[in-house]
Structures are given as structure tokens and as C-alpha cells.
A and B are shown apart, each in its own frame.
Chain A
Amino acid sequence: MTPTLQAFLIVSAALFSIGLLAALSRRHAIFILIGIEMMLAAANLNFIAFWRFAPPPHPPTGVMIAIFSIAISAAEAAVGLAMIIAVYRHYRTTNVDQYDQLKG
């Protein structure tokens, strides 16, 4: 049997919630970035699932959005990790609770 659209959406919702959990409850800067990546990946799964289940003459719009979103999340990861390293040099820690002053 083929799974329905609901199954994919629930998997995507679960992945999004796990990413949200990682981003909200961990105090480590890299974990927060991992959580954001997971949430973006869940959104991609939603785009692909809705594209696949659309009625027949479907142009590959969902796939295009997913490709662009992957590219943008790669850029975001590069800048985010560079920021973590830059702040780490200054504070010698990666705990976001101790970043209490980010002024030049």
C-alpha cells in the first residue's frame, strides 16, 4: 500500500517538533543550529509531499522551492557556524546563556 499524504505530514510535524525541542531547550549554540537545520528539513519534506500529491499536470514547483531552500539553509549554516566560532574566540564558551553582552 502507498502511504497517504497524512503520514508524510505527521512525520514532517514530528521532525519539526524535534528541531524546535533542540533549538529551545538546549543551551549549546551548535545544538540550536542543528535544531534550526532540522526544522528547515521538515519544511522541505512538506514541500515535496504536497508537490507529489498535487493533481496531475504538476509543474515541478515544489521541487524548485526545496532546492532553493536547501541552498539557503547551507548558506545559513556556514554563516551561523562562523558566528559561533567568532563568539567563541571572544567568550571561550559556547553556552548561549553566557553570551550576555554582544556589543562590539
Chain B
Amino acid sequence: MLAAALAAATLPNLMHAALCLVLALLGLASFFFLLGAEFVGLALVFIYIGAVAVLIVFTILLTRRDLGSEHGFKWSGVLIAFAVFGGLTWAILRTQSLSIIPPHARALTVKRIGETLMIGYVWPLQCVGLLLTAALIGALVLVMEEKR
């Protein structure tokens, strides 16, 4: 999964990078399954791979004329990323209370997720629905042809 993510970040060909992103997200979904959050893993597969990846591929195809031109690569970004990774790993390895094994938990069924969403999280759910609607309308307005 990490190799696919690294390939998605560094491959020069945009289409290969998008396909590697799909591979990396599949690996991430398998991590979610491993952690016992099956619903979130499935949602990740549906939303990211089914919708976002297809959207990215469409955008690549729509902006295809630009593919041949040279895009620069800034090495300072690599430096900053390595510094952030080193700092985070150092902090994680130094914290003793993090080396625990998972407690035995009862399975998180979709029924329980639905009950929690509908009882405790009604307002956030409505807000997310409103946000998605606004984002879709905004995206449509953005790409609408300008009247001349």
C-alpha cells in the first residue's frame, strides 16, 4: 500500500499515478477491515474508488492537451516530507502508552452505526447532506460555460 502511495506521488505519468492512487486506497481499505471497521472500509471503496478516482481520471482526460509539457519537481518538498515523517515516527516510538494490543470488542454492526447516526448524529448528518448539495451545485456553477 505504501509503495503504491509513493508511486502515486512520484510517477511522472499522470494516468499511472491515478491508478496507483486507487491501489493505495484499496490497501487503506484493507487496513480498515483489519481494524474491524467494515462499513467504513466499504464506504471508502465505494466513494474513493467508485467516485473520486473516476472523477480524477475524467479531469485528467479533459486536461489532456497539457500532458506533454514538462512539470517541475521541487526537492524542498521531499525534504519537508521526510522531516515531518521523521518527527512523527520519533514521537510515536517515544510514547510508551501506544504499544498496546486491542481490547476485545463486540462487533460494530451496520445496525449499530445506523442507530448512532439517526439518534446522536442527526444534525451533523443533515449538515453533511447540505454541504454535499452545496458542493455539487458549486462544482456545476464553476464549470458552466461563461456567456460571452
Contact = CB atoms under 8 A, between A and B. Distances in A.
Is B a genuine binding partner of A? yes
Classify chain A's interface size: 35 or more
Contacts of A34: 8-9, 17-18, 21, 56
Contacts, number: 235
Interface in A63-93: 63-64, 66-68, 70-79, 81-86, 88, 92-93
Interface residues of B, number: 79
Interface in A30-84: 30-31, 33-35, 37-38, 41, 44-45, 48-49, 51-56, 58-60, 63-64, 66-68, 70-79, 81-84
Interface of B: 1-2, 5-6, 8-10, 14, 17-18, 21, 24-25, 28, 31-32, 35-37, 39-40, 43-44, 47-48, 51-52, 55-56, 58-60, 62-63, 65-66, 69, 71-78, 80-82, 84-85, 88-89, 92-93, 98-105, 108, 112-113, 116-117, 121, 124, 128, 131-132, 135-136, 138-140, 142-143
18 contacts: A17-B84, A18-B2, A24-B77, A27-B71, A31-B9, A31-B17, A33-B56, A34-B17, A34-B56, A38-B24, A45-B28, A51-B37, A56-B105, A67-B40, A70-B47, A71-B47, A75-B136, A79-B142
